[in-house]
Chain A
Amino acid sequence: MNHKQRLIIALIMLISAPLRLSGQDDISGLDIMRNVYTRPTGSDQQGRLTMSLTNSRGSRRVRKIEQFIKDTGQEEKKIMFFISPADVRNTSFMNWSYGEAGRDDDQWIYLPALKRIKRISSESKSDYFMGSDFTYDDLGERHPSEDTHTLLREETLDGEDCYIVESIPREDGYMYSRTVSWVIKDKWIGLKKEFYDEEGELLKVLRVLKQEKINGYWIITHTRMHNIQKDHTTEIRLENLIVDAGIPDSRFTERMMKRGL
Chain B
Amino acid sequence: MNNVYFRLLRYPRLVLAVTLLLSVLFFLVLKKNTRMETDLDEYMPQHHPAFVYSNQAEEWFNIKDGILIAVENADGIYNPVTLQKVIDLTRALQKMDEIKKEDVTSLYTMDNIVGTESGLDVKSFFRQVPRSDDDLTALRASVRANEMVYGRLVNPDETVTVIVAEIEDDSFSQAFYNRLLDLAGSYESPEKIYVAGRPIVEGTMALLGPRDMRRMVPIVIAVIIFVLLLVQRSIKAGLFTLLVVLLSVIWAFGLMAGAGIPVYAVSTMIPVMLIAIGVADGIHLISHLRLFLLENPETDKKTAVFDMVKEMWKPVVFTSVTTAVGFISLVTSEVYPIKYFGLFTAFGVMAAMAFSLLVIPSGLLVFGLPRWKNTGNIEKSYENRLLNTIALRVLRHQYSTLFITAVIIAAAVFGTTKVWINSSFLDKFEKTSDIVLTDAFINNHFGGTSMLNVILEAETVDAFKQPRILRAMDRMQTDVVGSLPVAGNSFALSDYLKRMNKVMHADSAVYNVIPDTRELVAQYLLLYEMSGDPENLWKVVDTDYQKANVTFQLKSDNSMAMNHVIEQIEEHKPALKELGVTVNYAGSGYKGLVFTDLILEGQIKSLFMSLILVVILLSLMFNKIAAGLIGAVPITITALISFGVMGLLNIPLSTTTALLSSIAIGIGIDYAVHFIQHYKTVAAETGDRHLAGQKTMQHSGRAIAFNAIVLIAGFLVLLASVFPPNRDLGALVSMNMFTSFLGTVTIMYLLLTVSNIFIRKNPR
Spell out A's residues near B (CB within 8 Å): 53, 55, 57, 59, 61, 82, 85, 87-88, 91, 93, 108-109, 111-114, 116-121, 123-126, 128-131, 230
Task: Tell me which residues across on chain A come within 8 A of B119, comparing CB atoms.
Answer: 108-109, 117-121
Tell me if B297 is interfacial: C-beta within 8 Å of chain A.
no
Give a binary string over B524-541; 1 marks a CB under 8 Å from any A CB, 0 the rest.
Answer: 101101111111001000
Task: Tell me which residues across on chain B come within 8 A of A126, comparing CB atoms.
Answer: 122, 530-534
Task: Tell me which residues across on chain A come within 8 A of B529, comparing CB atoms.
Answer: 130-131
Tell me if B519 is interfacial: C-beta within 8 Å of chain A.
yes
User: How far apart sit A85 and B462, CA to CA, in the bound complex (Å)?
Assistant: 11
On whether A131 and B465 interact (CB within 8 A), knowing A85-B522, A125-B124, the answer reads no
| B504-520 at interface with A (beta carbon < 8 Å) | 504, 515, 517-520
CB distance from A124 to the nearest CB of B (A): 5
Task: Tell me which residues across on chain B come within 8 A of A230, comparing CB atoms.
Answer: 535
B534 contacts A59, C-beta separation under 8 Å: no
B118 contacts A124, C-beta separation under 8 Å: no
A-B contact pairs, 5 of them (CB 8 A): A88-B523, A108-B119, A112-B519, A113-B522, A117-B119
Task: Tell me which residues across on chain A come within 8 A of B527, comparing CB atoms.
Answer: 109, 111, 118, 120
- Besides A59-B542, A87-B462, A124-B122, 12 more A-B contacts (Cβ < 8 Å) are A55-B543, A57-B59, A85-B522, A87-B522, A112-B519, A118-B119, A118-B120, A120-B121, A125-B123, A125-B531, A128-B533, A131-B530
CB distance from B457 to the nearest CB of A (A): 15
B523 contacts A113, C-beta separation under 8 Å: yes
User: How far apart sit A59 and B535, CA to CA, in the bound complex (Å)?
Assistant: 14
On whether A124 and B523 interact (CB within 8 A), knowing A59-B543, A119-B118, the answer reads no
User: How far apart sit A119 and B122, CA to CA, in the bound complex (Å)?
Assistant: 12
Q: Which of A113, A120, A125, A130 contacts B120 (CB 8 A)?
A: A120
Task: Tell me which residues across on chain B come within 8 A of A85, comparing CB atoms.
Answer: 522
Tell me if B400 is interfacial: C-beta within 8 Å of chain A.
no
A120 contacts B520, C-beta separation under 8 Å: no
Give a binary string over B116-152; 1 marks a CB under 8 Å from any A CB, 0 the rest.
Answer: 1011111110000000000000000000000000000
CB distance from A42 to the nearest CB of B (A): 26
User: How far apart sit A118 and B120, CA to CA, in the bound complex (Å)?
Assistant: 7
B523 contacts A114, C-beta separation under 8 Å: yes
A120 contacts B530, C-beta separation under 8 Å: yes
A113 contacts B526, C-beta separation under 8 Å: no
Tell me if B474 is interfacial: C-beta within 8 Å of chain A.
no
User: How far apart sit A113 and B522, CA to CA, in the bound complex (Å)?
Assistant: 9
Closest residue of chain B to A55 (Cβ to Cβ) is B543
User: How far apart sit A93 and B521, CA to CA, in the bound complex (Å)?
Assistant: 17
Interface centre among A91, A109, A113 (most CB of B within 10 A): A113
Task: Tell me which residues across on chain B come within 8 A of A119, comparing CB atoms.
Answer: 116, 118-119
CB distance from B105 to the nearest CB of A (A): 13
User: How far apart sit A61 and B538, CA to CA, in the bound complex (Å)?
Assistant: 13
Tell me if B111 is interfacial: C-beta within 8 Å of chain A.
yes
User: How far apart sit A243 and B475, CA to CA, in the bound complex (Å)?
Assistant: 52
Closest residue of chain B to A85 (Cβ to Cβ) is B522
B123 contacts A121, C-beta separation under 8 Å: yes
A120 contacts B522, C-beta separation under 8 Å: no
Tell me if B170 is interfacial: C-beta within 8 Å of chain A.
no
Q: Which of B124, B523, B531, B544 contacts A87 (CB 8 A)?
A: B523
Task: Tell me which residues across on chain A come within 8 A of B524, comparing CB atoms.
Answer: 111
Task: Tell me which residues across on chain B come within 8 A of A113, comparing CB atoms.
Answer: 515, 517, 519-520, 522-523
Task: Tell me which residues across on chain B come within 8 A of A91, comparing CB atoms.
Answer: 523, 526
Q: Which of B116, B504, B515, B526 contacts A88 (CB 8 A)?
A: B526
B116 contacts A121, C-beta separation under 8 Å: yes
User: How far apart sit A88 and B529, CA to CA, in the bound complex (Å)?
Assistant: 13
On whether A130 and B530 interact (CB within 8 A), knowing A111-B523, A113-B523, the answer reads yes
Task: Tell me which residues across on chain B come within 8 A of A123, comparing CB atoms.
Answer: 121, 123
Task: Tell me which residues across on chain A come within 8 A of B521, comparing CB atoms.
Answer: 87
CB distance from B596 to the nearest CB of A (A): 31
| B530-573 at interface with A (beta carbon < 8 Å) | 530-535, 538, 542-544
B523 contacts A125, C-beta separation under 8 Å: no
Closest residue of chain B to A110 (Cβ to Cβ) is B523
Q: Which of A57, A87, A125 contacts B122 (CB 8 A)?
A: A125
CB distance from A136 to the nearest CB of B (A): 11
Task: Tell me which residues across on chain A come within 8 A of B519, comparing CB atoms.
Answer: 87-88, 112-113
CB distance from B540 to the nearest CB of A (A): 15
Closest residue of chain B to A198 (Cβ to Cβ) is B101
B504 contacts A114, C-beta separation under 8 Å: yes
Task: Tell me which residues across on chain A come within 8 A of B515, comparing CB atoms.
Answer: 113
Give a binary string over B431-466; 1 marks a CB under 8 Å from any A CB, 0 the rest.
Answer: 000000000000000000000000000000010010
CB distance from B502 to the nearest CB of A (A): 13
User: How far apart sit A123 and B523, CA to CA, in the bound complex (Å)?
Assistant: 21
Task: Tell me which residues across on chain B come within 8 A of A114, comparing CB atoms.
Answer: 504, 520, 523
B520 contacts A109, C-beta separation under 8 Å: no
User: How far apart sit A82 and B465, CA to CA, in the bound complex (Å)?
Assistant: 17
Task: Tell me which residues across on chain B come within 8 A of A125, comparing CB atoms.
Answer: 111, 122-124, 531-533
Task: Tell me which residues across on chain A come within 8 A of B533, comparing CB atoms.
Answer: 125-126, 128
CB distance from A28 to the nearest CB of B (A): 35
CB distance from B348 to the nearest CB of A (A): 46
User: How far apart sit A93 and B465, CA to CA, in the bound complex (Å)?
Assistant: 21
CB distance from B497 to the nearest CB of A (A): 12
User: How far apart sit A120 and B123, CA to CA, in the bound complex (Å)?
Assistant: 11
User: How far apart sit A243 and B713, CA to CA, in the bound complex (Å)?
Assistant: 93
CB distance from B508 to the nearest CB of A (A): 14
User: How far apart sit A61 and B526, CA to CA, in the bound complex (Å)?
Assistant: 12
Closest residue of chain A to B522 (Cβ to Cβ) is A87
Closest residue of chain B to A61 (Cβ to Cβ) is B543
Task: Tell me which residues across on chain A come within 8 A of B523, comparing CB atoms.
Answer: 87-88, 91, 111-114
User: How far apart sit A130 and B526, CA to CA, in the bound complex (Å)?
Assistant: 7
User: How far apart sit A55 and B62, CA to CA, in the bound complex (Å)?
Assistant: 13
A109 contacts B530, C-beta separation under 8 Å: yes
Task: Tell me which residues across on chain A come within 8 A of B59, comparing CB atoms.
Answer: 57
CB distance from A232 to the nearest CB of B (A): 9
Interface centre among A88, A124, A131 (most CB of B within 10 A): A131
| B371-430 at interface with A (beta carbon < 8 Å) | none
Task: Tell me which residues across on chain B come within 8 A of A55, comparing CB atoms.
Answer: 538, 543
A124 contacts B531, C-beta separation under 8 Å: yes
User: How far apart sit A185 and B515, CA to CA, in the bound complex (Å)?
Assistant: 53
Closest residue of chain A to B521 (Cβ to Cβ) is A87
User: How far apart sit A154 and B518, CA to CA, in the bound complex (Å)?
Assistant: 53
CB distance from B385 to the nearest CB of A (A): 77
User: How far apart sit A168 and B532, CA to CA, in the bound complex (Å)?
Assistant: 27
CB distance from B95 to the nearest CB of A (A): 9
Interchain residue pairs A-B with the least CB separation, the first 10: A118-B119, A87-B522, A113-B520, A131-B534, A131-B529, A113-B519, A119-B119, A121-B121, A119-B118, A111-B523
Task: Tell me which residues across on chain A come within 8 A of B116, comparing CB atoms.
Answer: 119, 121
Closest residue of chain B to A118 (Cβ to Cβ) is B119
On whether A118 and B530 interact (CB within 8 A), knowing A112-B523, A125-B111, A125-B122, the answer reads no
CB distance from A228 to the nearest CB of B (A): 14
User: How far apart sit A112 and B518, CA to CA, in the bound complex (Å)?
Assistant: 12
Task: Tell me which residues across on chain B come within 8 A of A129, comparing CB atoms.
Answer: 530
User: How far apart sit A113 and B521, CA to CA, in the bound complex (Å)?
Assistant: 9
Task: Tell me which residues across on chain A come within 8 A of B520, comparing CB atoms.
Answer: 111, 113-114
Closest residue of chain B to A87 (Cβ to Cβ) is B522
Task: Tell me which residues across on chain B come within 8 A of A131, comparing CB atoms.
Answer: 529-530, 534
User: How far apart sit A117 and B523, CA to CA, in the bound complex (Å)?
Assistant: 12
Task: Tell me which residues across on chain A come within 8 A of B462, comparing CB atoms.
Answer: 87
User: How far apart sit A53 and B521, CA to CA, in the bound complex (Å)?
Assistant: 20
